[in-house]
Structure 1
Amino acid sequence: MPAPSADTILTEPVTGPSAWRAADFSDEGDWVTALTPAEVAELDAALATARGRGLPLESLTVEDFPLPTLAKTLEATVQELEFGRGFSVLRGLPVERWPLEDARLAYWGIGLHLGTPVSQNAAGELIAHVRDYGQGGVENPTTRAYRTRSALPFHTDSSDIVGLLCLRSAGRGGVSTLASSMSVHNHLLAHHRELLGLYYRGFVYDRRTEEGSQELPYYRNAVYGYFDGLLSCRFYMTHYIDSAVEKTGIPLSGIEKHALRAFQDIAAMDEYRVDMTLRPGDLQLLNNNVVIHGRSAFEDVPGRQRDLLRLWLNTRFARRIPEGFARFRHGMPVTR
């Protein structure tokens, strides 16, 4: 089959479950799946099996982490992520009684049942801690956003699926916010049609010192692309757009700044936004093709540091998109 084209701008509204609005949900029960005691016991048994293999994480397979019952729940979750609303929360992983290494191993095993993990940074990390590393805020041009306690605007990650397993919640703040990028596109189509071409052309993003020695320290990526009858979104951190200007020497135009503000403002409208506070043991899963996410700033308190484990995954149902549309969809190259 020919490669999907990147030349088409969608001019009809997106329909279906991925184009959701806040009013489509009555409460968190619409997206939370609580694990049963039997499923948790199955996780504990699978942990023992995987530990007994004595293999590094990247060498383990689904067969090393058997989940005969929970696998059905995970398969239903994948279906929801790929063909439904595009987000879900699995609740009840016993992270408070698991040592960190067991939590990492259990999370990895769950991830293998969901899809294929990919590298998240230049160090090649497949599981990364999302916490305050004390390196300054997201305005620091050498720091990735997940290593700060800053408020993060709406954005996507690079892979198709991003998972966040909450080990410890913040003392204050850290509220997760989601919106459907499909509904944002529908709003743009109805009210700001003149801006659509800017999003399909995309913006230049800073690599934030994670480029290789022979690579440019920035790259361009489209926000929207319409391929094989499906609209996909990649909208990376706007702070990375701002810091890229210092490296390219090309300032953003007034209309580009307006388009970036409009995207954020639309996503933040009560009509489209869903807020949730993750508790320890919650696993939030998002499809970056159809869902954008952000968070409020957070503060740690003595003896309690907010800590989430992140996985980037692609499932076997991954949609076909051109190689250049989602630059690091299959993982960031290891340069360190």
Structure 2
Amino acid sequence: MPGTTCTTRERREILSRENPIRTEPVTGAGVWRASDFSGPSDWTEVLEDHEIAELEAALAVAKDRGLPLQELSVDDFPLPTVGRRLDGIVDELEFGRGFVVLRGLPVEKWTVEDAKLIYWGIGLHLGAPVSQNAAGELMAHVRDHSEGELGDPNVETRAYRTRSELPFHTDSADIVGLLCLRNSGQGGESTLASSMTVYNHLLTHHRELLGLYYHGFVYDRRAEEAGDEVPYYRNAVYGYFNDLLSCRFYMTHYIDSATLKSGIPLSDIEQYALRLFQEIGAMPEHCLSMKLQSGDIQLLNNNLVVHGRSSFQDQPGRRRDLLRLWLNTRKARKYPDDFAAFRFGMPKTQ
């Protein structure tokens, strides 16, 4: 009734109805183990010479338009052949294993601006790009910006701007793409695990903890909040909607630093649940690793896959540099807007 106030128990019951706990194992191609793959060729698609030529022809069309990136459309980057291949990649991301590496872009012979434009055009054929930070960037450089290490409690920077080791996590939009312009001399290996396989392991061995993941954790906004917003927010790790399980497991460092801002410490069982998720994902039978080559585009579906990275060290004349896109495809699953914070982009506040 209007004007009535729900009790805590009633609020929990409403929440459980909106996001019920899945009690059956997840099945399908998105549930995978390392042994399901014979090697990188199982997830790598190599561009052929005629496809590179088509991309360069589309680049010329887009440059002739003379429009800023955000004003370009798919029609401004025509890909009659490559576009069909990219549509198949979208199917693999949305309905298959949830990750693909597209290999063979000759970025060494292109200017950085041309590489950005070609990458943007590929992104438009995959989905709709969304903003990644409070500055409204639609394409961000993933490299060491010399702003400090991620584990330093006095550092407010986002993880992608450091050289630190990154634990398993997801990004905010459904699809995260990384174009490798140049990899580091040391480190920087990418690690992947199926969050659906992690879920099945939890269901079998730690069923009593599932409610914690559905309730979620509080994350630090990392100084990217608007003036009237609190500097932290809560987000669920798992959500079960329309018979599909989805995952959002943001950076655990942001959970740690959020406790300083909210004044609410993590309980022992919450800390255990966070460690356990990482440990299950890192099991050798669950985890894949890869080091991207120049010209590779790694594409991951955050609903199905968690990813991490080893720390890296730039060497003189060789600075690790990847370009990131956040995308939502036209075949994306549907779930409540408040399940995945910033799924449709971060609001511009700077």
TM range (shorter): over 0.9
Letter in 1 for 2:230: L
The aligned counterpart of 2:344 is 330
The aligned counterpart of 2:9 is none
Unaligned runs of 5+ in 1: none
The runs of 4+ residues in structure 1 deviating greater than 3 Å are none
CA distance in structure 2 between the partners assigned to 1:7 and 1:313 by the alignment: 24
Q: CA deviation at 1:139?
A: 2.0
**TM alignment of 1:112-131, pairs within 5 A:** 112-131=124-143
Is the contact made by 1:6 and 1:225 (CA closer than 8 Å) also made in structure 2? no
CA distance in structure 2 between the partners assigned to 1:292 and 1:79 by the alignment: 18
CA distance in structure 2 between the partners assigned to 1:48 and 1:324 by the alignment: 40
CA distance in structure 2 between the partners assigned to 1:24 and 1:219 by the alignment: 37
Letter in 1 for 2:349: T
Give the counterpart of 2:273 among 220, 242, 259: 259
Is the aligned partner of 1:40 residue 2:63?
no
**TM alignment of 1:60-209, pairs within 5 A:** 60-140=72-152, 141-209=155-223
CA distance in structure 1 between the partners assigned to 2:151 and 2:288 by the alignment: 26
Q: CA deviation at 1:161?
A: 0.2
The aligned counterpart of 2:309 is 295
**TM alignment of 1:10-25, pairs within 5 A:** 10-25=22-37
CA distance in structure 2 between the partners assigned to 1:206 and 1:7 by the alignment: 23
RMSD after superposition = 0.9
CA distance in structure 2 between the partners assigned to 1:193 and 1:271 by the alignment: 20
Q: For 1:131-184, what per-residue CA distance to the aligned partner results, in whole angstroms no more than 9, with x for missing partners?
A: 000000112441100000000000000000000000000010000000000000
TM-score (norm 2): 0.94
**TM alignment of 1:269-280, pairs within 5 A:** 269-280=283-294
**TM alignment of 1:42-57, pairs within 5 A:** 42-57=54-69
The aligned counterpart of 1:313 is 327
CA distance in structure 2 between the partners assigned to 1:320 and 1:283 by the alignment: 26
Q: CA deviation at 1:5?
A: 5.7
Q: Considering only CA atoms, is the larger Rg found in Structure 1 or Structure 2?
A: 2
CA distance in structure 2 between the partners assigned to 1:146 and 1:167 by the alignment: 15
SS in 2 for 1:96: helix
Is the contact made by 1:164 and 1:311 (CA closer than 8 Å) also made in structure 2? yes
CA distance in structure 2 between the partners assigned to 1:40 and 1:33 by the alignment: 13
Q: For 1:214-265, what per-residue CA distance to the aligned partner results, in whole angstroms no more than 9, with x for missing partners?
A: 1110000000000000000000000000000000001000000000000000
Q: CA deviation at 1:321?
A: 1.0
Is the aligned partner of 1:222 residue 2:236?
yes
Letter in 2 for 1:6: E
CA distance in structure 2 between the partners assigned to 1:138 and 1:9 by the alignment: 33
CA distance in structure 2 between the partners assigned to 1:247 and 1:224 by the alignment: 24
Is the contact made by 1:206 and 1:243 (CA closer than 8 Å) also made in structure 2? yes
CA distance in structure 1 between the partners assigned to 2:296 and 2:60 by the alignment: 22
Residues matched between the structures, number: 333
CA distance in structure 2 between the partners assigned to 1:221 and 1:295 by the alignment: 22
Q: For 1:260-291, what per-residue CA distance to the aligned partner results, in whole angstroms no more than 9, with x for missing partners?
A: 00000000001100000100000000000000
TM-score (norm 1): 0.98
CA distance in structure 2 between the partners assigned to 1:47 and 1:158 by the alignment: 28
CA distance in structure 2 between the partners assigned to 1:5 and 1:285 by the alignment: 33
Unaligned runs of 5+ in 2: 1-15
